Structure 1
Amino acid sequence: MSIDTPTRGPARPAPYIVSGILIAVAIVMPLLVPMYARHDPMLWGIPFFYWYQLLWVFIASGLLAIAYVIMRREDRRRRAEVRERRVR
């Protein structure tokens, strides 16, 4: 294999766009402090301000995991495409 031989096939934009949106939501939502800067409703005696932030830790973890799976699948598809071309 030479230096000019590609290791991945052409990219499709959709997986990158979806992953970018998921990551952006995970980053931007906790930064919108005026949206959740209040005391009520309380959950087990914890003010909304605190439990909302803690909730976003788990939501962001899930969103980032989904984005990772999407990107890993796209990378595998691109690598398989190059392997198929070499076999032919």
Structure 2
Amino acid sequence: MRILLALPFLGLLGVPFYNDTTPALWGFPFFYWYQLAWVPLTSLLIWIVYRHGVKKGDE
């Protein structure tokens, strides 16, 4: 489960892959909204790993 915590790092590591202006979302270029989308996604992943640890007693 802890490998999930590497996803935001890997998702944001390859800047050339998301360094583009299209597709725009609500007027935001892709470069910005892609990075901003990782903020709640990362929080969700941290919560999932935490809950899994609590269930296993790893706290």
TM-score by length of 2: 0.86
Distance 2:35 2:49 in 1: 21
Aligned residue number for residue 55 of structure 1: 37
Distance 1:51 1:22 in 2: 21
Is there any run of 5+ residues in structure 1 with no aligned partner, and where? 1-17, 77-88
| Worse-superposed segment, 49-58 or 29-38 | 29-38
For the residue of structure 1 that corresponds to 2:57, the secondary structure is helix
Distance 2:43 2:49 in 1: 10
Aligned length: 58
Instruction: State the structure with bigger RCO (CA 8 A, min sep 6), 1 or 2.
Output: 1
User: Structure 1 residue 27: deviation in Å?
Assistant: 2.1
Percent identical: 43
Misfit runs of 4+, over 6 Å: none
Aligned residue number for residue 4 of structure 1: none
What is the root-mean-square deviation in Å for CA atoms of aligned residues? 1.3
Q: Structure 2 matches for 1:7-86, cutoff 5 A?
A: 18=1, 20-75=2-57
Rg larger in structure: 1
TM-score by length of 1: 0.61
Distance 2:55 2:28 in 1: 40
